[in-house]
Amino acid sequence: MEEIKEKLRAFIQEKFEIDDDPDFTDDVHLFNEGFVDSFGAVEIIHFIEQTYNIEITQKDITLYPMNTIEEIAEVVENKLS
């Protein structure tokens, strides 16, 4: 799961221009803290689907919290296994 978190972290930092912000951690709420907006959420899902060749459905979005890098990585890992 560490590799998934690393790829997610790198993508989010690059895409949303997050430099070395001490508040940007694997457990920070990306949306409440303003790192990512709703359009960004769509881009993250697209990145996950393309990178890991999986589908994130509306049901997944409803059932599983995906607000932190940690939570997103858990969903990806579950889909891959």
pLDDT tens figures, 34-44: 999 999 999 99
What three-state secondary structure class fits 74? helix
Can you tell me the distance from the alpha carbon of 43 to that of 15, in angstroms, rounded to the nearest whole number?
9
Structural domain tally of the chain? Answer: 1
Which residue has tokens 């509306």?
A: 58
Q: What is this structure's pTM?
A: 0.95
Smallest CA-to-CA distance from 18 within 35, 41, 39 is with: 35
Assign residue 28 the CATH number of its domain. 1.10.1200.10
pLDDT averaged over every residue in the chain: 97
pLDDT value, residue 33? 97
- Domain residues for the domain of 19 are 2-80
The sign of the torsion formed by the CA atoms of 47, 51, 53, 54 equals negative
